[in-house]
Structure 1
Amino acid sequence: MTKPKNKGNKTTGKKQNRFDNQKGKQHRQQGSPKNVKSKGKPNTNGKQQRGKKSVTENVTCTGLTPEGKGIVEWEGKELEVENLLPGETAEVLISRKGRFTNTELKHVMTPSEDRVNSPSWYYYERGGCQIHHMSNEAQTRFKQKTIDKLMKTFGKPEPIITMDHPYDYRNKNTMTFGLNKKREIICGLYAPNTHRIIPMDGSLIHDPKADEIIQTIKGMMKSFKMQPYNEDTGRGFLRHVLVRVGKNSGEIMVVLVAASPMFKGKNNFVKALRNSHPEITTILLNVNNRSDSMVLGNQEKVLFGKGSITDTLCGMRFEISAKSFYQINPIQTEKLYTKAIKMAELTGEETVIDAYCGIGTIGLVASEQAGKVIGVELNKGAVRDAIRNSKRNGVKNARFYQGDAGEFMVQMAARGEHADVVILDPPRSGSDEAFLSSVVKLQPKRVVYVSCNPETQARDMKYLVKNGYKVKEIQPVDMFPQTAHVETVALLELK
């Protein structure tokens, strides 16, 4: 395999691809997914193939969806094709299942200048990097265009803040374990909308050491007679392995997610793992006997170390547990938080509410420039972490409360209390009208809205604009290079 090529982008290719020398994973032809070669000449006349409701057609890509899929026209319909770029012509397998039409890219005949050779061998199996086939410059244009379109009713967003080295950034990696048809142990990610595991040795956006540790664990399982969990039979032990890395501290947490607390030979397993990776600072056993898609269960036992790690963000040290919400990309997070706090225009006198505060990261960073910070979070464990982080950093002007942030602000307004700035960073589903109406009742001068889902952010900002606020600035940040996701921070001011 080769290093990623990126026309016109100086940042790509500086660092040697750590998958270059893997045996049996030869880089495939540019723009061509797995199994690109088919027997005989492809059928392009629209006839059904081998009695199936499928045809192979020559199509031209006319645009991209917000998820980075190519858009093509066929029989008067717009279809979505993964790994296809605007202007490219390609052979696409089109198949019908009931009311649904599926597509599979077979071969790109005229590649776009924006296409690069994907260095991730699993990419064509949809291994999580939806737009890895785009050059970094093309990714930037795509994300900027997406945000510009979403936010056009509020004004023109600022140019997106990019990442100098858009690889190796994830500080939290989770792999699922199972058996293949040959009864061999595999680990990887679920294919979209399925529980089929895509076998993966790693990812270019994962922390390299985390991937290495997970592969070591997979290699140890046979000698320790450790079986992966089977969802269908309910048998087996290991479901997932989660690794968290302190990018600045170097501390590493390994969480073995098992179906049962009965871990035979755990002491020897821990010893062997630490012999292979002495850099590991804590190891936990998490028991998950649920049947839903949640990775972590409620029962947890520390097998080695203190059960948490610490890391530094914006000059502050944070304690991170297995379940803590902590931004995935710390390099870009510092840029995001710096921008958010600049938008808040703090002078040292303001009362700031950090809604959805999690373990207190952005609120504690803001406390250095605010008069008082009030953090509110539903998750009790996260609030405990936030209080510990406050004490750890010697912060005297921040208080954290467990509860619903919307109800908390309504009660503040009823008591005649005031807040100058509200900072919110909700989940992907965004906020709800109850919370937004509480913001309107409290009437802070400025609202700083941090979002990992610009679609729900735009929806929520429409409500605030209708109720007395004006959008002053929108700043996109590329927190997740090689994927279609983008984070945005917006400033709204009371009219």
Structure 2
Amino acid sequence: MNKRNNFGYKTQKKRNQSNKPYGKKRSALATQKGNKIQGKHSTINKHRGNKKKETLEVTCTGLSNEGKGIVQWEGKQLEIEHLLPGETAEITMSTSGRYVNSELKRIITPSKDRVRPICSYYYDCGGCQLQHMNEQAQKRFKQDTINKLMKPFGKPDPILTMDHPYDYRNKSHTTFGLNRERQIIGGLYAQNSHQLISMDRCLIHDPKADEIWKTIKDMMKSFKMQPFNEDTGRGFLRHVLVKVGKVSGEIMVVLVVASPIFKGKNNFVKALRKAHPEITTILMNVNNRDTSMVLGNQEKVLFGKGTITDTLCGMKFDISAKSFYQINPVQTEKLYSTAIEMAQLTGKETVIDAYCGIGTIGLIASQKAGKVIGVELNKDAVRDAIHNSKCNGVKNARFYQGDAGKFMVEMAARGQKADVVIMDPPRAGSDEAFLSSVVKLKPKRVVYVSCNPVTQARDMKYLVQNGYEVKDIQPVDMFPQTVHVECVSQIVLRDKN
């Protein structure tokens, strides 16, 4: 896997001779000095062979969907990170056969939209991609992205942004390793690599979550706890996962370990609770597989009930270590409220909540619907949805484990009807099998909630070609400082008359 090329290329190249997750704590290598930004951004994989290298002056003409600056070179379109529209810059081009590497050497004319990133790890980490833009430029970029994707279906509404676009993540996980001095460090992997970036604070994480993992890092030495090393397979602590109930204040800490043998666990838990009495539950998750997945299958509660509770749109939800729950509850309330408005519920409708997860959208919709049917493949999520339904005293919602597409086809075969289908698929979007089942069932309205507008536009095209039309499109900035944006659309069955 390619390592991320950070600003300060010569220094970074030396550091990256080893792929092991250690290294001295670094401040951001990308520093702005006047109009100069030092560094390299590679547009493709490194390629050995005869290379041709030249320095060019270019002008950025726009942004890609990934927020990278677009420049033209010999009839080719190149994408360079951290370059803004209208900026002129000096870049170094390295060509080897059909492969091209682009290096951002310095910015000659900076954009008025450029700001200094407030995160000192911004250019090392890569988890955020837009901190070099001011808030208005970020808003404009995301709005333009949605406008282009949704142009065949109509004009989207103005994007719903966040008043305080930091500290919003209610879920975070931290990885641990050793630096060259064999000291324990904690932080995040650089984007598209296993290069561990030692850090003290992620500005989009909940601040309390960062405080907790730093306490755990400081405790590891006294408890003789070694971080897990992926290369050798030795060590104990792999990750720390923290989930925070933004409304309830409840906090879950999950210690992801390589072995179920946890020496001194009672004293460790006692010490952690003393340092952070706000923690309401602590779990040990055993992941002894050679995998990029954070959580393993074996789990043990060390303190508390093993879940936390939080409130969303007036409904309470129990959240487990593995359950999916939107990471930005402030913006989620805007997203879900918009989705319920688009459903146009009067209290009589039958609503299908496809891809229902732990039942969040369906249970919120149940307050205004006649009946809600939630369908989800993951049996654990269905169990959580049923539990959440009971906890909220909901009588008009039922949840089923299975394929939502097949479920709707069977409903249509039995002559059953649904007035509204709410769908919130994963980033890959839906598929033709599911979409065709929607067409067979013929609900009056489809409310499509998407975390990937690219696949949403693809799926909406299918529905439009099969008897539906798009009435409303609302983008929501769920992930400030990143290129990601969510979008909810109302799609209605066309009147044949």
Q: Secondary structure at the match of 1:132?
A: coil
Please give the TM-score of this superposition, normalised by the length of structure 1.
0.89
Tell me how far apart the structure 1 counterparts of residues 170 and 35 of structure 2 sit (CA, whole Å): 28
Secondary structure, counterpart of 1:174 in structure 2: strand
Q: Quote the offset at 1:149 in angstroms.
A: 0.4
Higher mean C-alpha deviation, range 183-192 or range 377-386: 183-192
Structure 1 residue 209, shift from structure 2 partner: 0.6
**What SS class does the counterpart of residue 253 from structure 1 fall into?**
strand
CA contact (8 A) 2:128 2:481 kept: yes
> How far, CA to CA, are the matches of 1:202 and 1:56 in structure 2?
37
TM-score scaled by length of structure 2? 0.89
Which residue of structure 2 lines up, in the alignment, with residue 149 of structure 1?
Answer: 148
Report SS of the residue matched to 1:343: helix
Aligned residues: CA RMSD: 2.1
2:28–2:122 contact (8 Å) kept in structure 1: no
- Give 1:237 shift: 1.0
**TM superposition shift of 1:53:** 5.4
Superposition map of 1:32-71 within 5 A: 36=38, 54-71=53-70
Q: 1:337 maps to what in 2?
A: 336
Q: Secondary structure at the match of 1:222?
A: helix
Contact 1:173 1:242 in 2 (8 A): yes
**1:87 alignment partner in structure 2:** 86
Matched, 1:278 2:280: no
Distance (Å, rounded) in 2 between the aligned partners of 1:37 and 1:29: 9
Structure 1 residue 373 corresponds to structure 2 residue 372: yes
For structure 1, which segment, 476-485 or 272-281, has the greater mean C-alpha deviation from structure 2 after superposition?
272-281
Residues 234, 415 of structure 1: CA spacing in aligned structure 2 closer, same or farther, 3 A cutoff? same
SS of match in other structure, 1:85 = coil
Partner of 1:105 in structure 2? 104
Counterpart of 1:324, as a letter, is S
Q: Distance in 1 between matches of 2:26 and 2:197?
A: 16
Question: Greater shift after overlay, 210-219 or 451-460?
Answer: 210-219
- CA shift, 1:393, in A, is 0.6
Asked if structure 1 preserves the Cα contact closer than 8 Å seen for 2:348 and 2:369, the reply is yes
Letter in 2 for 1:182: E
Once the two structures are superposed, what CA deviation does each residue of 1:114-154 show, in whole Å capped at 9, x if it has no partner? 01110101101133110111111001110010000001001
Structure 1: any 5+ residue segments left out of the alignment?
1-22, 39-50
Contact 1:31 1:111 in 2 (8 A): no
Does 1:298 find its partner at 2:293? no
Give me the identity figure in percent. Answer: 75
Q: Check the 8 A contact 2:30/2:37 in 1, yes or no.
A: no
Q: Which moved more, 1:215-224 or 1:100-109?
A: 100-109
Alpha-carbon distance between aligned partners in 2 of 1:364 and 1:37, rounded to the nearest angstrom: 49
Confirm or deny that 1:137 pairs with 2:136.
yes
1:192 CA displacement: 2.4
Q: Aligned in 2, Cα 1:438/1:249: closer, same or farther, shift over 3 Å?
A: same
CA deviations on 1:260-290 (whole Å, 9 max, x unpaired) are 1111111111111111111111111111122
Q: 1:478 — aligned with what?
A: 477
Cα distance in 2 for partners of 1:332, 1:109 equals 37
Q: Which residue of 1 aligns with 2:217?
A: 218
Output the CA distance in 2 between the equivalents of 1:94 and 1:256: 45
C-alpha contact 2:257 2:285 (8 A) present in aligned 1:
yes
Please tell me whether the aligned partners of residues 450 and 456 of structure 2 are also in contact (alpha carbons under 8 angstroms). Answer: yes
Unaligned 5+ runs, structure 2: 1-24, 41-49
Distance 1:230 1:361, change over 3 A: same
Q: Does 1:492 align with 2:491?
A: yes
CA distance in 1, matches of 2:164, 2:184: 33
2-structure distance, mates of 1:352, 1:108: 53
For the pair 1:258 / 2:257, whether they are aligned, the reply is yes
Report the equivalent of 2:411. Answer: 412
- 3-state SS of paired residue (2:71): strand
Amino acid at match of 2:263: K
